[in-house]
């Protein structure tokens, strides 16, 4: 396996010298998902050499074991640089030499020090990966192999030579790393490896090649790591690049900021006055048209995932709700509620004042929440389950300036891959978007957006308007969605049954959000607390 760029001794040095450096290195990376956990051990489980001309790179598969149990596999692509040798490529910022964080390994027997830097910040390495996908190359490692593949859709693209599409980093993502090639392609590289096919690859491939759904990026190719026992793990996906003006969250923030600036000028203290409501609604008339379009695109996605093409694929064929699924779902909701409310009790004394007023009320509602879940899942659900987006919110939709494009079918990264592949009601996605509208309404009142002037004098008034805005937007979204999806097998036959199933998912999402905010943004806990209260107060949205 030795090659001109490495040396037999370096292979063994990777396994012996990297583990001591990896804990600090991993904790310093934004894509490492276990920064709060204590690491028990790290080891090099495999390494795959990728070399061409003066490029010497290695993909290191790192096994991370945690105190208290559990382990993850992470993929760490590294580019080799020796001393003053700068021929291995330039990083994505354009400066020669090594990006910030580096690892070092002894080279040949002379003791030469080899510097290893992040391959996904290296232009030559990224161009090499794209070329490999276009050519369908396979790279053999010590224990497994990296397999590249392309879809028919890539053949239809006039990409030209891989080297002509200059890569640039996309910095918005956290758990993965994404790179754009010119304005034509985008590579999403999954840092954490999981056994099985990632839903982003699986669903993206189905929508591109079978359902021909147009409002999502086309799947063009993939990287797959195959372990020693034939285990298949998605390493990356290549998609068509969608020119856009940002995501739908950013687009919504602009609209709601303008709305708040207008209603904030009014001397009316109440958001309930009819005349005031009519004037205020006019401020968001154009945005409501956009919301209607987003609802139609969402329904069209769900119709594609339930289309005749889906019936031909075992992993996509719709399935009815049955007692086994409903009991399992109820057990999962009971575990979720017990766990999150335990966290809430433990954290309540440390929460911001705006949340403390709501905590006692919500804590007292735990039995009602459990009963609401039980009642909804004890009844017969006359609908089918399908594959869905699974983590649907405004940040998962791109706004092109004239339309919406739905992205990122990976599902909630905190959930095991097996759960993310389960067939569920598409109304779970609808609930996710309705909760996202509620977040959008209240977010400017918790943190400065740079365009909304919120002070103690108008905060209470704007809070009232936030509820009004969220109601208008949610009603428009739901009306357009149900109109477009009318008659679909995944919708129960009556409005009452639809609302009961939707409310189940809205409440589930709010409880899930509560746990997320307790762990990540305690200053935002008031939003899901309010969402839980509102959901319990009424069967209406």
Q: Which fold has domain 322-379+494-541?
A: 1.20.120
Q: What is the rounded distance in angstroms from the CA atom of residue 268 to the CA atom of residue 283?
A: 16
For residue 111, the model assigns a pLDDT of: 63
Would you call 308 exposed, middle or buried from its count of C-beta atoms within 10 A (0-12, 13-18, 19+)? exposed
Backbone CA torsion sign across 10, 12, 14, 20: negative
Q: What is the rounded distance in angstroms from the CA atom of residue 433 to the CA atom of residue 449?
A: 21
Between β-strands 192-193 and 219-226, what pairing exists: parallel, antiparallel or unpaired?
Answer: unpaired
The beta strands (E) that lie in 283-425 are given as 319-320, 384-385, 397-399, 404-406
Cα–Cα distances (Å) from 178 to 51, 82, 408, in that order, read 22, 27, 12
Nearest to 203 by CA among 187, 223, 217, 191: 217
| In contact, 296 and 351? CB cutoff 8 Å | no
The verdict on domain 243-319+385-489 having CATH code 3.40.50.620 is no
The reply to whether domains 243-319+385-489 and 322-379+494-541 share a CATH topology is: no
For residue 134, the model assigns a pLDDT of: 93
For residue 274, the model assigns a pLDDT of: 57
* Residues, the chain: 541
Q: What is the rounded distance in angstroms from the CA atom of residue 233 to the CA atom of residue 381?
A: 35
Domain boundaries, the chain: 8-240, 243-319+385-489, 322-379+494-541
Cα-based torsion angle of the residue sequence 400, 403, 407, 411 in order, rounded to the nearest 10 degrees: 130
Nearest to 159 by CA among 176, 180, 137, 181: 181
Residue-by-residue pLDDT tens, the chain, 541 positions: 444 455 556 767 888 999 999 999 999 998 998 877 899 999 999 999 998 888 989 999 999 999 989 999 999 999 987 554 444 556 655 433 334 568 888 866 556 778 899 999 999 999 999 999 999 999 999 999 999 999 888 876 655 545 568 898 887 657 889 999 998 999 999 999 999 999 999 999 999 999 999 999 999 999 999 987 778 999 999 999 999 999 999 999 999 988 998 887 765 555 555 556 777 888 899 999 999 999 999 999 999 999 999 999 999 999 999 999 999 999 999 999 999 999 999 999 889 888 888 999 999 999 999 999 999 999 999 999 999 999 999 999 999 999 999 999 999 877 888 889 999 999 999 999 999 999 999 988 886 555 666 666 677 778 889 999 999 999 999 999 999 999 999 999 999 999 999 999 999 999 999 999 998 889 999 999 999 999 998 755 5
| In contact, 305 and 386? CB cutoff 8 Å | yes
Residue pLDDT, tens place only, 127-169: 999 999 999 999 999 999 999 999 888 876 655 545 568 898 8
For residue 175, the model assigns a pLDDT of: 80
Element containing residue 372 per DSSP (H, E): helix 366-378
For residue 1, the model assigns a pLDDT of: 40
For residue 94, the model assigns a pLDDT of: 40
Coil, strand or helix: which one is 51? strand
């Amino acid at each position: 396996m030795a090659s001109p760029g490495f040396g037999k001794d370096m292979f063994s040095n990777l396994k012996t010298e990297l583990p001591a450096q990896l804990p600090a290195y991993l904790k310093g990376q934004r894509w490492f998902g276990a920064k709060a956990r204590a690491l028990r051990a790290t080891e090099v489980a495999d390494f795959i050499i990728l070399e061409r001309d003066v490029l010497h790179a290695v993909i290191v598969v790192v096994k991370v074991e945690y105190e208290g149990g559990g382990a993850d596999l992470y993929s760490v692509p590294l580019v080799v640089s020796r001393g003053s040798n700068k021929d291995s490529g330039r990083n994505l910022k354009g400066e020669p030499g090594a990006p910030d964080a580096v690892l070092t390994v002894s080279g040949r027997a002379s003791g030469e020090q080899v510097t290893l830097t992040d391959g996904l910040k290296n232009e030559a390495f990224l161009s090499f990966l794209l070329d490999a996908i276009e050519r369908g190359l396979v790279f053999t490692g010590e224990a497994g192999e990296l397999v590249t593949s392309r879809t028919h859709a890539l053949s239809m693209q006039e990409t030209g030579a891989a080297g002509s599409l200059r890569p640039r980093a996309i910095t918005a993502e956290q758990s993965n790393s994404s790179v754009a090639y010119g304005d034509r392609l985008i590579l999403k590289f999954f840092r954490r490896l999981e056994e099985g096919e990632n839903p982003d690859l699986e669903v993206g491939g189905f929508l591109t090649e079978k359902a021909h759904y147009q409002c999502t990026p086309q799947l063009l190719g993939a990287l797959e790591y195959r372990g020693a026992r034939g285990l298949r793990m998605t390493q990356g996906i290549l998609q068509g690049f969608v020119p856009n003006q940002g995501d739908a969250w950013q687009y919504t923030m602009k609209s709601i900021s303008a709305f708040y600036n207008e209603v904030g000028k009014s001397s009316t203290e109440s958001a309930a006055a009819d005349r005031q409501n009519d004037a205020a609604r006019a401020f968001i008339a154009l945005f409501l048209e956009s919301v209607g379009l987003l609802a139609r695109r969402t329904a069209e996605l769900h119709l594609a995932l339930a289309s005749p093409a889906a019936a031909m694929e075992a992993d996509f064929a719709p399935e009815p709700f049955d007692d086994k699924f409903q009991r399992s779902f109820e057990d999962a909701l009971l575990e979720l509620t017990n766990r999150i409310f335990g966290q809430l009790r433990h954290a309540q004394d440390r929460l911001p004042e705006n949340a403390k007023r709501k905590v006692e009320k919500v804590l007292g509602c735990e039995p009602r929440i459990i009963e609401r879940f039980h009642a909804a899942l004890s009844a017969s659900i006359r609908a089918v389950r399908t594959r869905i987006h699974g983590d649907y919110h405004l940040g998962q939709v791109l706004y092109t300036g004239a339309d919406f494009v739905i992205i990122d079918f990976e599902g909630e990264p905190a959930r095991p891959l097996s759960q993310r592949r389960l067939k569920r009601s598409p109304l779970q996605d609808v609930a996710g978007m309705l909760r996202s509208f509620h977040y959008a309404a209240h977010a400017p009142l918790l943190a400065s957006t740079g365009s909304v002037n919120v002070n103690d004098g108008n905060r209470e008034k704007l809070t009232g308007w936030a509820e009004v805005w969220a109601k208008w937007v949610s009603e428009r979204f739901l009306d357009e969605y149900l109109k477009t999806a009318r008659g679909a097998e995944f919708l129960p036959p009556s409005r009452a049954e639809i609302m009961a199933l939707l409310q189940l998912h809205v409440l589930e999402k709010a409880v899930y959000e509560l746990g997320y905010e307790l762990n990540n943004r305690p200053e935002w806990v008031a939003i899901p607390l309010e969402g839980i209260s509102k959901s319990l107060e009424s069967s209406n949205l």
